[in-house]
Amino acid sequence: MSSSPGSMGSSPDAQSSSPDAVGSPPGSVRSSPADSGTPSAGWVLTGWGTALPEKVVTNDDLASYLDTSDAWIAERTGIRERHVGGTTAELAAAAGAAAIERAGRRAEEVDFVILCTTTPDQMVPATSADVAHRLGTTGGAMDLNAACAGFVYGVVVASSMLQAGLRRVLLVGADTLSRITDWDDRGTAVLFADGAGAVLLERSETATGLLGWDLGVDGSARPLLYCDHGGYMHMDGREVFRRAVRVMVSSGRTAMERAGTTADEVALCVPHQANLRIVEAANARLGIPMSRTALVMDRTGNTSAASIPLALADAADTGRLSPGDKVLLCGFGAGMTWASAVIEWHG
């Protein structure tokens, strides 16, 4: 496993470049902060960290036994390699420890741990309990499952906790999708992978942190991407692509509107790393160029709830973010869930 301080993805066999017009899906439920009032306190992001398994599976590795090739996979997904191995708790704890270290804090100073995951190590207890134990934190901990939108859901939940009086919340996105992937299925084997990313959020009386957000779910889309207990991932790639673009655009616009900002003012978009074609199509409609978009999917694959913090950490590590920057986070995943948030960078 390598660590550094610091999904939905449509099947390449069935993609569409012409998603429906943007708008909330019929039957969808959307959360709104309109009646929440002015936050009494905000937060700053003081630390970040990542963890990836040491084992790397390249496109050529998959092409050695599947009817595919490196060029075929890369052209349709943007992915060239992915990391596989470890448990969700191992990866989450490694990323969390790196985030705490970068922030210059000790584990016992963390008030709460939120683990965003769709692949817990056990049904009971919550994997966050194991993560908290490994880290040595002394506050509460819980799992949050909103699939590939989970990390952005976690940002909103953590913000609420900090506004309610907590001092520090460790937010982790971690998934081990390789455990629920059928490696003989070309439509999914080329997409999914394992990894973790974490951030430490600290209460602030002067910074805002979360500027605007949008959360939603459309349960009628549940059959499009699912995994039963003891089974493997099943996905309707064409419909996933169409809906993913639609909800990413709609949710991203809503979050920016609530934040009182525009696409031109967004310094960086950090989308769920599902599929390059989805991101390109959505960004074109949002009006955010790919030059202002954080991408790591070429070397990580789709890591579900880990993908956004992995891309955010990479952007921070490579000097793409400056204090005061407005950052748009966009997630979408099974459920169908979606989530967007505009945050102010102070890392």
- pLDDT of residue 18 exceeding 90: no
User: Does 3.40.47.10 match the CATH number of domain 209-344?
Assistant: yes
* 108 HSE (CA, 13 A, CB side): 0
Q: Are 288 and 328 in contact (CB under 8 A)?
A: yes
- The answer for residues whose C-beta is within 8 angstroms of residue 71's C-beta and 6 or more apart is none
pLDDT of 7 > 70? The answer is no
pLDDT-derived band at 36, boundaries 50, 70, 90: very low
User: 63 burial class (0-12, 13-18, 19+ CB within 10 angstroms)?
Assistant: middle
Instruction: Answer whether residue 8 shows pLDDT above 70.
Output: no
Write out pLDDT tens, residues 276-298: 999 999 999 999 999 999 999 99
Give the chain's mean pLDDT: 91
- Give the model confidence (pLDDT) of 51-60 as tens digits: 999 999 999 9
Q: pLDDT tens digits, residue range 229-264?
A: 999 999 998 899 999 999 999 999 999 999 999 999
With cut-offs at 50, 70 and 90, classify the pLDDT of residue 340.
very high
Q: pLDDT band at 20, cuts 50/70/90?
A: very low
Active site residue 148: yes
* Confidence band for 15, pLDDT divided at 50, 70 and 90: very low
Q: Which of 269, 275, 290 is nearest to 333 (CA)?
A: 275
CA-closest candidate to residue 94, choices 182, 196, 6 = 196
Cα separations in angstroms, 289 against 170, 262, 269: 31, 13, 9
Percentage of the chain modeled with pLDDT above 70? 88
Higher local confidence (pLDDT), 205 or 24: 205
Confidence tier at 38 by pLDDT (50, 70, 90)? very low
DSSP-assigned letters across all residues of 64-79: TTSS--HHHHHHHHS-
Query: Please, which residues have CB within 8 angstroms of residue 226's CB and are 6 or more apart in sequence?
Result: 233, 234, 334
> Which among 272, 275, 283, 346 is annotated as catalytic?
272
User: What confidence score (pLDDT) does residue 69 get?
Assistant: 96
The confidence score (pLDDT) of residue 41 equals: 75
Catalytic residue among 148, 227, 269, 330: 148
Domain with CATH 3.40.47.10 in the chain: 42-204, 209-344
Instruction: Kindly name the residue from 59, 145, 275, 302 that is annotated as catalytic.
Output: 302
CA dist., res. 278 & res. 285, Å (int): 11
Long-range contacts of 54-60 (CB under 8 A, 24+ apart): 54/1, 54/2, 54/83, 54/85, 55/83, 55/84, 55/85, 56/81, 56/82, 56/83, 56/84, 57/81, 57/82, 57/83, 57/84, 57/193, 59/190
CB 251, CB 29: distance < 8 Å: no
Let me know if 302 is a catalytic residue: yes
**196 bridge partner residues:** 51, 174
227 catalytic per annotation: no
Q: How far is CA 257 from CA 33, 66, 149, 266, in A?
A: 12, 45, 19, 12
Strand, helix or coil for residue 229: coil
Pairwise CA distance, residues 43 & 34, whole Å:
19
pLDDT of residue 4: 53
Average pLDDT, integer, range 135-159:
97
The least confident of 8-12, 86-90, 119-123, 266-270 is 8-12
Q: Which residue has the tokens 């909800």?
A: 247
Q: What angle do CA 56, 152, 292 make, to 5 degrees?
A: 70
Token pair 């429906």 is found at 20
Is 3.40.47.10 the CATH number for 42-204? yes
Query: What is the pLDDT confidence band of residue 130, given thresholds at 50, 70 and 90?
Result: very high
